[in-house]
Structure 1
Amino acid sequence: MAEQGVVAQPGLQRSIGPFQLFAYTLGGMLGAGIYGLVGRAAGELGSAVWLGFLVAMVAALLTGLSYASLGSRYPRAGGAAYVTGRAFAMPLLTWVVGLAVMASGLTSVATQSRVVAANLLALTGLQAVPAVAVAIGFVLLLAGIVLRGIRESMWVNIVCTVIEACGLVLVIVVGIGWWGSRPLLETPTGEGIGLSFLMTGAILTFFAFIGFEDTLNVAEEARNPRRTLPIGIIAAMLTATALYIAVAITAVSVVPWQELAVAPGPLVAVMARAAPWFPEWGYAAITLFAVANTGLLNYVTASRLLLGMARHGLFPPALTRIHPRRHTPHVAILALLPVVLALVLAGDIGQLAAATVLLLLGVFSVVNVALLVLQRRAGEPHGGFEVPAIVPAAGALVCAALLANRVLAGDWRAPALAGALLLAILLAFALLRPAATPEAMEG
Structure 2
Amino acid sequence: MTAEDLGLTESVSMALGGMIGGGIYAVMGVVAGITRYRTWVAFVAAGIVALCAGYSYIKLNTMTDNRGGSVTFVQCYVGNSDLAGMVGWTLLFGYIGSMAMYAFAFAEFTVSFAVVPASVAGLPLRPLISVLAVAGFVALNLAGARTTGSAENVLVALKVFILVAFGVLGVVYALGYSPASSLRFGVGSLAGFGPVVAAAISFVAFQGWQLLFYDQESITDPEETLRKAVYISIPAAVAIYVLVGVVTVNLAPEALQQHPHVALKDAARTMLSPYGLATAGGVALALSALFSTGSAINATMFSAAHFAKGMLADDLLPDDIGDADADGIPERTLLVIGGVTAVFTAVGSLGAITSFASLAFILIFGAMSLLALRERERDSVNPLPPAVGLVGTAAFLPLMAYNLYTREPGTFGMVVVVALAVVSVELLYFKRDVLEEQVVPIEEERIDDAVDSVTDHVPDAE
Q: Tell whether the structures are fold-level matches, with TM greater than 0.5.
A: yes
- Which structure has the larger Rg over C-alpha atoms? 2
Instruction: Extract unaligned runs of 5+ from structure 2.
Output: 176-180, 436-462
**Which position in structure 2 is the counterpart of 1:440?**
none
**Which position in structure 1 is the counterpart of 2:371?**
370
Shift of 1:269: 1.4
Counterpart-to-counterpart distance in 2, 1:333 and 1:121: 33
Distance 1:142 1:291, change over 3 A: farther
Distance 1:107 1:55, change over 3 A: closer
**Which position in structure 1 is the counterpart of 2:389?**
395
Counterpart-to-counterpart distance in 1, 2:342 and 2:248: 36
- How many pairs align? 401
Shift of 1:291: 1.1
Higher helix share: 2
Counterpart-to-counterpart distance in 2, 1:424 and 1:105: 17
Q: Please tell me whether the aligned partners of residues 93 and 360 of structure 2 are also in contact (alpha carbons under 8 angstroms).
A: no
Shift of 1:123: 6.7
**Which position in structure 1 is the counterpart of 2:208?**
211
Counterpart-to-counterpart distance in 1, 2:293 and 2:246: 24
Larger mean CA deviation between 175-184 and 54-63 belongs to: 175-184
Shift of 1:231: 0.9
Question: Is 1:184–2:179 an aligned residue pair?
Answer: no
Deviation string, structure 1 residues 148-200 (Cα, Å, up to 9, x no partner): 56xx443453343223212211212322224552352437xxx6422535434
**Which position in structure 1 is the counterpart of 2:237?**
240
Counterpart-to-counterpart distance in 2, 1:116 and 1:259: 18
Deviation string, structure 1 residues 91-145 (Cα, Å, up to 9, x no partner): 221011001111222343355456556766887968899745564233211343x
TM-score normalised per structure 2 = 0.75
Counterpart-to-counterpart distance in 2, 1:202 and 1:121: 28
Shift of 1:213: 2.5
Question: Is 1:46–2:48 an aligned residue pair?
Answer: no
Counterpart-to-counterpart distance in 2, 1:231 and 1:45: 32
**Which position in structure 2 is the counterpart of 1:286?**
288
**Which position in structure 2 is the counterpart of 1:166?**
161
Larger mean CA deviation between 310-319 and 44-53 belongs to: 310-319
Shift of 1:415: 3.1
**Which position in structure 2 is the counterpart of 1:27?**
17
Counterpart-to-counterpart distance in 2, 1:251 and 1:364: 29
Question: Is 1:70–2:57 an aligned residue pair?
Answer: no
Deviation string, structure 1 residues 70-94 (Cα, Å, up to 9, x no partner): 3444486752111111110112210
Distance 1:54 1:156, change over 3 A: same
**Which position in structure 1 is the counterpart of 2:86?**
96
Q: Please tell me whether the aligned partners of residues 143 and 334 of structure 1 are also in contact (alpha carbons under 8 angstroms).
A: yes
Q: Name the % identity.
A: 21
Q: Please tell me whether the aligned partners of residues 305 and 334 of structure 2 are also in contact (alpha carbons under 8 angstroms).
A: no
Instruction: Extract unaligned runs of 5+ from structure 1.
Output: 1-11, 324-329, 435-443
TM-score normalised per structure 1 = 0.78
Distance 1:234 1:117, change over 3 A: same
SS of residue matched to 1:424: helix
SS of residue matched to 1:281: helix
Distance 1:307 1:374, change over 3 A: farther
Q: Please tell me whether the aligned partners of residues 99 and 296 of structure 2 are also in contact (alpha carbons under 8 angstroms).
A: yes
What value does the CA root-mean-square deviation take over the aligned residues? Answer: 3.4
**Which position in structure 2 is the counterpart of 1:225?**
222
Counterpart-to-counterpart distance in 2, 1:43 and 1:126: 26
Counterpart-to-counterpart distance in 1, 2:220 and 2:56: 20
Q: Please tell me whether the aligned partners of residues 201 and 355 of structure 2 are also in contact (alpha carbons under 8 angstroms).
A: no
